[in-house]
Structures are given as C-alpha cells and as structure tokens.
Chains A and B, each alone.
Chain A
C-alpha cells in the first residue's frame, strides 16, 4: 500500500517539476550537448562540417590568441572585482539606512544598472574620446592632466577606461545585494554593541562584515563570473585594440564563430572557457565553505 502511495506521490512530483525539467532540458542541456558535439567538428557558418576529433582542442592549446585573451580576461577580472566589491560595500554602508537622502542616493547609484551594457559602453566610448570627450575635459579642468589622453590608444589606459565605465554601470548591483545583507542583520546586535561602547568602524569590522560574509561571497562570485564573460564593453570601446591587446576570451570566441565563421572552433573555445569558470567557481565555493565551517 505504502509502495503504491510512494509511486503515486513520485509521479505527481514529476508532473510538478516537468515544466522546469523541460525548460532546463531544451534551453540549457540540449544546446550544451550540441555545443560539446560541435566542438569536435570543423563546422562553418558558411556550411560544411566534418569530424575532427580533438583537433580543435589541440589548435586552441597552440593558439597564442587564446592564451593572450585568457591572460587579459583574468587581469581584467582581478582588477575590477575588488574595486566593484569595495566600492559596492562602501556605498551599501552609507546608504543602508532608511533616511530619505540615503534611499535617494541608493536609487541614483543603482540607476545605471538598468541601462543596457551596449548603450553604456557607447556612452563611455564618446566620454573618453580624445578630441570631444568630456572625461578628458574634466581631468584637464581639475589639473590632473595637462593634455588630452588618447584613452584607447594604449592598452593599459583602454583597460582602465573600460573598468571605470563598468564600475559606474555595475557598482549599484553589488550595493543592492550588500544593502539587503546589512538590513537583514538584527538591530539588537548593533544596539548591544553600541551599548558596549564600540565605534562605527569597529561595528562594521566585528559585526556587519562577518554577518554579511555569505552575501559578499555571492556578490564576488557573480561579479567574477560576469567579468570572465566580458564582451560588449571591449567590443564597443576598444575593439580589441590597440594591436589586439584588449581582446577578452568571449571576444575571441565571438570573432572565431561569427566573423571567421568557425563555429566548431568557437564551440571548443566556449567549452574551454566554461570549464575554467566552472573550476574557479568550484574552488571559490569550497574555500568559502571551509572558511565558514572553521
């Protein structure tokens, strides 16, 4: 009797999850399987395809552009992630309260998040223009620079121009996550610490930071993955230049797949990048768990 009930309950459960399973199956698992299969073929967008085994993987290993793009993407991620997290957390600390001005500031900082990345990149491309850009004018008026900088003429300057634009665009997202984490801390804990005579920064260090640790880790993970997948900002602002020094991994995947029409090779590069991100995420989650359990 209980076996029948169990089976019936399993069947009903399956019916409930079926839409989600179908959704994931068609939109994630099937394309993913196709991608893996495609990575073993020399498929072209112009037609024609033949099985090449691991040739695409060997080619990727020997492709200097793949390594350069990966190095550059890692550099970008390592630079931008602490900035986004640091500024986001600082903004969250300043605006987590319920005062009207704090709410307004929160809204203003969050505003660029809702702008499309393509639009914001185009906006910043012109703001950084060496001839008519307002950013150079601002720096000159503040006497930071004496002559206009050609931001996209130098790989390092170009990278920093992109970082500035992305920080402006994305910092509000981290801030909102942190605000939610900070607001979830029970007031009693803060009040007890204040009664004990702790200062503001001491409370931040001893109470707020430890109690929002999981939120910080989550935000860092989301930010790092997003940075590893950076594309639009480099495609629009630097176009990979000068001399191909600002080509990100996804940019190189896009170029191979849709400009050079090499869909098979593009699929291989996607699998490689995905594996790297997956491994990095697994390491980060494991470390977070270990630290939490300690």
Chain B
C-alpha cells in the first residue's frame, strides 16, 4: 500500500516538475508578406531551432492583400502575435492604434540605438516607438558588366547621372535586337517608388510624397527630368515592350536573362543573382539623380511589430529583442547576403567577401523613406496617382499633364 502511494506521489511529483515547461511554452503566430518571406523564413527557422519551447508559426500573405487583411483583422480585435509590416504603412497603423507601443519596453535594449535610422523613424509616431527594423532593403542601380564591356563602356564606371544612364542605354541597345539598355516594371507602383523616386529625390529639395496636407507633392524639377529620361528611353525602344504591363512579376527575371543593361533594383538582387544566375557578371551602384553628384536610395523593407491584439505580447517582445542580437544578424542576415538591421554590423566577414554587398550597405547612408499617411493611396496602389503619372508620362508622353494631374490627386488624398 505504502509502495503504491509512494509510486503515485512520485508520479505526481514528476508531473508537477514537468508542468512549468508546458506552462511557459507559447506558440506564437506571425504574418509576413510574400515578398519578404524568404529571409523571414530563415530568421524564424533560426528562432525555432534555438527556442524550441516557443515556436513561431509563420503565415505568408500575398503582399497586395497584407494591409487589407491586417486592417480587417485588427478592426475586429484579431490578428497574429507578431507582424512583419512594410515600413511605409507604419504611420497609418500607428495612428490607428493597431500596433503596440514598445517605447518603454525597448528602452533598455542597447541594440536599438544601432539600427537603421530610416526604419526607426518610420516606426515612430508622436515620439513613441512601435517596432524594430526587421528585414531592411534598399534600392540600388544594377548593371550588366559584360554588356557594358561589349558596348564599349567601362564596366567599373557605372552611370552617375540620368543623362549617363540614357547614353549607356543607347550604346547597349545597339548590341542586338533583343538586347535592351534599361528595364523597369511599368505597371508596378511599388517597384517604381522604390527605384524611380530615389532618382528624383536625389536632387536636393525634391519632395515626391508630401508629409501632410500643407506640403506640396511632387515638388522639384528633377521629377520632370527623370520622367522625361524614361520617356526618351521608351520612345527610342531602349526598354522592352513587355515592361509596360509588368506588374512586378518580372522585376528580376528579365535582368536574369542577361539581355538587360541596367535597371533600378534592390540589395536583394545580389544574393538572388549569385544563386539563380551565377553566369551574369553584374555591378552595383547608387541610383543617380539628374545632376552630377546626386545619388540616393529608398530604405524599404519590413518592421517587426506586435499587434495590439497580440495574445502573447510578452513573448513577442522577446522575439523583437532577439532579432537585434549578433547571432541572427550575422549568422542569418549577413551570411545569406541580406542587410543586417544593425548598421554597426554592416561591415562583417560575409560582406567583406563581396564588395557589391558592401556597396548595398553603403547605399543605406544616402537612403530616404517618406514618412506620410496614405502612402498606399498616393503611391503603392494600382490606381494611385503615382503610377498613373508614370504611365501617362512615359508611355503616352504627356509629362507636364501627368505631373499636374498627380499633384492634384495627391493633394486631395492628403487633405481629405
């Protein structure tokens, strides 16, 4: 009898000892848009490997449905525990109160002072912090060195002005009927705010998207200059016809064919081309503006946030802190050719091995991101004034009319 009781007590004791492990284990959910899923999956896999007790289940959402899906869920008090959100949408969601204020919770983290400033700015509303940089990317000029060489151009001297882009594109086009000087996705508003807008705001004083109702949208001569440059390239057939209807699906694949001289792209192109098109000898440069010495970039990517409706906010905060530590920053981000979110780690053993990666990291220093409400309405949506302006100016030739109409619509959107 005593033995039986002892056995039972022992069993209960073992069960009680095991309980904390179960009690503390939390299954977190996270949403990410498809365009940022590759790196995020690697980061989350690394978390799940190093934190087996608190696994994260990642859901990949089509990028054009992410905002609507999250807004609808948040309005209903639902949503994931962690959200990887395109930083340009932060102002709207911070204002709406859909994202948790983490200012005080992150105050003691020394790494927060070392992250990409543009991301921090976009994750800040009324001096309160709502997220940490997660998967930063930035735009650069991508060019095919082999085609440069064949066209008699110096492959080590990429274009430094819009005019030089045009001149190089003309020379490259002469190489063959199926070889083109330039490529861009003509029906992709997001791709072009990422790669064309920096060429505009590279000129000092240019404003593409206004910060509020009082500010003037599309301010600056460089807007017309860049649009005219694209128009000339289109009219002269330096860009493939298919570019007009590319919604972004061929943003990288056309360059991978080896028949495109140059295009605006992102830091992610380095890793992608090395993996998928190892035969292409490509170079990386800053996106130039119309004038000598002008160069810029778009600091894009995702911010990692905790939705206000998160059911495991404390554990989610642990993830935010962990993401900024050396281990994932170097062994996941840098190792796979992706920009670390911490600028102090931009120089690392992995990037030292490829100067093109270093160049992408340097572009962050000249990068900008507009802090504005209604970013989606003004530029990212398929019916936005931004894409309407590009298509009217480049494909129809009415540059002045396109700018005037877009100015009016952007002003209306901001002032509503």
A and B associate: yes
A27-35, A138-146, A241-249, A274-282 - interface stretch: A241-249
A260 CB–B CB distance under 8 Å: yes
Interface status of B97 (Cβ within 8 A of chain A): yes
Q: Assess whether B396 is interfacial by the CB under 8 Å rule.
A: yes
Shortest CB distance B257–A (Å): 10
Q: For the complex, give the distance between the alpha carbons of A243 and B97 in Å.
A: 34
Check: A261 CB closer than 8 A to any chain B CB: yes
B245 and A130: CB pair below 8 A? yes
The segment from B67-75, B278-286, B320-328 that touches chain A is B67-75
Residues of A within 8 A of B247 (CB): 239
A240: Cβ under 8 A from any B Cβ? yes
In the bound complex, CA of A45 to CA of B71 (Å): 7
Query: Is B388 part of the contact surface with A, judged by Cβ < 8 Å?
Result: yes
**Bound complex: CA A259 to CA B89 (Å):** 12
Measured CA separation A19–B47 after assembly (Å): 52
- The answer, yes or no, to whether B124 is at the interface (CB within 8 Å) is no
| Complex Cα gap A238–B401 (Å) | 23
Docked pose: A260 CA to B71 CA in angstroms: 11
B265 → chain A closest CB, angstroms: 19
Closest to A254 in B: B68
Cβ–Cβ < 8 Å partners of B187 in chain A: 152, 239, 241-242
Are A243 and B392 in touch, CB under 8 angstroms?
A: yes
Question: Judging by beta carbons under 8 Å apart, are A260 and B376 in contact?
Answer: yes
Which residues A46-99 have CB closer than 8 A to chain B? 46-47, 65
Chain A residues near B376: list those with CB within 8 A: 259-260
Are B242 and A150 within 8 A (Cβ)? Answer: yes
Tell me, yes or no, whether A131 is within 8 Å of chain B by CB: yes
Would you call B395 an interface residue if the criterion is a C-beta within 8 Å of the partner chain's C-beta atoms?
A: yes
Residue on B nearest A252 in the bound complex, by CB: B383
CA distance A260 to B382 in the complex (A): 12
- Hey, which chain A residues are within 8 Å of B54, CB to CB? none
- Taken together as a complex, chains A and B put the C-alpha atoms of A239 and B186 apart, in Å, by 12
Given A242-B391, A260-B376, A260-B377, the answer on whether A255 and B93 have CB atoms closer than 8 Å is: no
Q: Are A150 and B245 in contact (CB under 8 A)?
A: yes
- The reply to whether B93 and A153 form a contact with Cβ atoms under 8 Å apart is no
Specify which chain B residues have a CB less than 8 angstroms from the CB of A65 in the assembled complex: 383
Return the chain A residue nearest B69 by Cβ. Answer: A258
B381 at the interface (CB under 8 A from A): yes
A242 to B393, CA, bound (A): 12
Does B92 sit within 8 A of A, measured CB to CB?
A: yes
Q: Which residues of A contact B396 (CB under 8 A)?
A: 243
**B contacts with A: majority SS:** helix
Distance in Å from the Cβ of B77 to the closest Cβ of chain A? Answer: 11
Most buried by B among A131, A240, A241: A241
Q: Using a CB-CB cutoff of 8 Å, which residues 363-416 of chain B contact chain A?
A: 374, 376-377, 381-383, 387-388, 391-392, 395-396
Residue interface mask B102-117, A partner, CB < 8 A = 1: 0000000000000000
Given known A150-B242, A153-B245, A242-B391, contact A46–B383 (CB-CB < 8 A)? no
Distance between B138 CB and nearest chain A CB, rounded to angstroms = 25
For A247, the chain B residues whose CB sits under 8 A away are 383
Q: Which B residue sits closest to A239, measured CB to CB?
A: B382
Q: A130-B245, A242-B244 are in contact. Are A46 and B92 (CB under 8 A)?
A: yes
Residue of B nearest to A242 (CB): B391
Q: Give min CB distance, A251 to chain B, whole Å.
A: 8
Shortest Cβ distance from A65 into B: residue: B383
Measured CB to CB, the nearest residue on chain B to A149 is: B241
B245 and A45 within 8 A (CB): no
Q: Is the CB of A47 within 8 A of B383?
A: no
A65 to B384, CA, bound (A): 12
In the assembly, what is the distance between CA of A167 and CA of B93, in Å? 42
Taking the nearest CB of chain A, how far is it from the CB of B184, in angstroms?
14
Q: Which residues of B contact A131 (CB under 8 A)?
A: 242, 250
Within 8 A of B (CB), among A207-224: none
How many residues of chain B are within 8 Å of chain A by beta carbon? 30
Nearest-Cβ distance from residue B73 to partner chain A, whole angstroms: 11
Q: Whole-angstrom distance between the alpha carbons of A47 and B247 in the complex?
A: 31
Q: Is B148 an interface residue (CB 8 A)?
A: no
| CB-based contact A47/B245 at 8 Å | no
B292 at interface by CB-CB < 8 Å: no
- Cβ B391 vs Cβ A46 within 8 A: no
Assess the B96–A47 pair: CB atoms within 8 A: yes
Chain A 123-166, CB within 8 Å of chain B: the 1/0 string? Answer: 00000001100000000000000001011110000000000000
Q: Report the Cα distance A148→B178, complex, angstroms.
A: 14
Question: Does A46 lie within 8 Å of B377, measured CB to CB?
Answer: no
A240 → B minimal CB distance (Å): 5
Q: How far is the CA of A255 from the CA of B67 in the complex (A)?
A: 12
Q: Which residues of A contact B235 (CB under 8 A)?
A: none
Tell me if A153 and B395 are in contact (CB < 8 A): yes
Query: Chain B contacts of A255 at CB under 8 A?
Result: 381, 383
B98 at the binding interface (Cβ < 8 Å): yes
> What residues of chain A lie closer than 8 Å to B388, measured between beta carbons?
243-244
Query: Do A46 and B241 touch (CB < 8 A)?
Result: no
A259 CA / B66 CA spacing, docked (Å): 10
Bound complex: CA A46 to CA B96 (Å): 5
Q: Which residue of B lies closest to A44 (CB)?
A: B96
Q: Which residues of B contact A150 (CB under 8 A)?
A: 241-242, 244-245
The answer on a CB contact under 8 Å between B75 and A47 is yes
Q: How far is B92's CA from A237's CA once the two chains are assembled, in angstroms?
A: 29
CB-nearest residue of chain A to B381:
A259
Task: Tell me the minimal C-beta distance from B389 to chain A in angstroms.
Answer: 9
Verify B97–A47 contact, CB threshold 8 A. yes
- Name the A residues within 8 Å of B382 (CB-CB): 239-241
Interface residues of A (CB under 8 A from B): 45-47, 65, 130-131, 148, 150-153, 239-244, 247, 252, 255, 258-261
Instruction: Pick 21 A–B contacts, CB within 8 A, sort by A.
Output: A45-B75, A47-B96, A47-B97, A130-B241, A131-B242, A148-B241, A150-B241, A150-B245, A152-B245, A153-B245, A153-B395, A240-B382, A241-B245, A241-B382, A241-B391, A243-B388, A243-B392, A258-B72, A259-B376, A260-B376, A260-B381
Nearest 6 interchain pairs by C-beta: A46-B96, A153-B244, A152-B245, A239-B382, A258-B68, A243-B391
New contact pairs (17) apart from A131-B242, A242-B395, CB-CB < 8 Å: A46-B71, A46-B92, A46-B93, A47-B96, A131-B250, A150-B242, A239-B187, A239-B382, A240-B382, A241-B245, A242-B245, A243-B391, A243-B395, A258-B71, A259-B377, A260-B381, A261-B92
